[in-house]
Amino acid sequence: MKFPSPHSLKHIATILDIDYVGHDDFPVLGMNEIHVVTKGDIVFVDHPKYYDKALNSVASVVLINKKVDCPDGKALLISEDPFRDFNKLTEFFMPFTRANGLIAKTARIGKNTIVQPNTFIGNNVVIGDECLIHANVSIYDNCVIGNNVIIHSGSVLGSDAFYYKNRPEGFDKLKSGGRVILEDFVEIGALCSIDKGVTGDTTIKKGTKLDNQVHVGHDTVIGEKCLIASQTGIAGCVVIEDEVTLWGQVGTTSGITIGKKAIIMGQTGVTKSVAGGKSYFGTPIEESREKLKQMAYAKMIPDILKRLEE
């Protein structure tokens, strides 16, 4: 998430009421999680296991819970609770704004786009030309929808990321300030849910089609011309490359990549990244031919044992 205008390190530290290491006027351009961070951004880290990764990332400012040596060209924000203070920044720069109607006055809707009754369109939403938004769709603030997009009834775009920190008093929610972006010619089936990014964008690229009851987690990027069948659950921070097919009831773990033109057969659990151009099946996931051979061999075991007993 980029700020509307650059801010100084001192100003950011003042918002959070914390100490900092670096020049007062050190430029801060935005804030992002480690997997999407860019130069000028703040990234947060609150566990020693990830200190080096954050300090050596392209982030310009590290929000950290320990005083450490500051790498050259970077700045530090020293916080007792980086998770909490990252949330404070999200609330400051991307506060929740109450809606005052079914279609926000700040929403922009393109030519020949049809919006059916009882659809909610939030603040700053942009919808392109020749789209069809069916009844009872909810499009949360800041979503961006291209041209010739179809969204079927009951789908929700822009719901919060499923991201929590486990504290003694309960689960603490990481607030979401990102967006959902649908490119041209995307179709979203009925009762789908697409979470917005925490600080970045959840993106579904040109020509991809989702069946009914598909969930897409935060910050996931789905490539062009993909087909995703019903009851598939895609976790956060997943990269699905172009022309991938996911058949029904596929589930993925977070932070993986599915390569271009891969085919994932129904009820597969995608437990790791897989290369493109191949077919996969099973949990844990394997190439489908190998997995089906294993299943055939397993069926032969009772007969083999019976022969041994004779």
Residue span of the structural domain in which 69 resides: 2-93
Based on the residue annotation, tell me whether 152 is a catalytic residue of this protein.
no
Q: Is 89 found in the same domain as 148?
A: no
pLDDT of residue 267: 96
Q: Is 182 found in the same domain as 134?
A: yes
In a domain, 237, yes or no: yes
Tens-digit pLDDT profile for the chain (310 aa)? 999 999 999 999 999 999 999 999 999 999 999 989 999 999 999 999 999 999 999 999 999 999 999 999 999 999 999 999 999 999 999 999 999 999 999 999 999 999 999 999 999 999 999 999 999 999 999 999 999 999 999 999 999 999 999 999 999 999 999 999 999 999 999 999 999 999 999 999 999 999 999 999 999 999 999 999 999 999 999 999 999 999 999 999 999 999 999 999 999 999 999 999 999 999 999 999 888 888 888 888 888 888 888 7
Q: Catalytic: which of 7, 134, 152, 218?
A: 218
- CATH number for the domain spanning 121: value is 2.160.10.10
pLDDT of residue 306: 82
In a domain, 32, yes or no: yes
Q: Is 118 found in the same domain as 43?
A: no
Q: Is 50 found in the same domain as 83?
A: yes
Give 180's strand partners: 202
Last residue of a domain, one of 66, 93, 120: 93
Q: Is 163 found in the same domain as 132?
A: yes
d(CA 222, CA 228): 10
d(CA 144, CA 160): 16
Q: Is 61 found in the same domain as 131?
A: no
Domain count, the chain: 2
Last residue of a domain, one of 69, 93, 117: 93
Contact between 246 and 266 (Cβ < 8 Å): no
Q: Is 128 found in the same domain as 60?
A: no
In a domain, 71, yes or no: yes
Instruction: Enter the pTM of the model.
Output: 0.93
Q: Is 49 found in the same domain as 143?
A: no
Pairing between strand 19-21 and 75-78?
antiparallel
Q: Is 115 found in the same domain as 7?
A: no
Contact between 244 and 261 (Cβ < 8 Å): yes
Q: Is 278 found in the same domain as 242?
A: yes
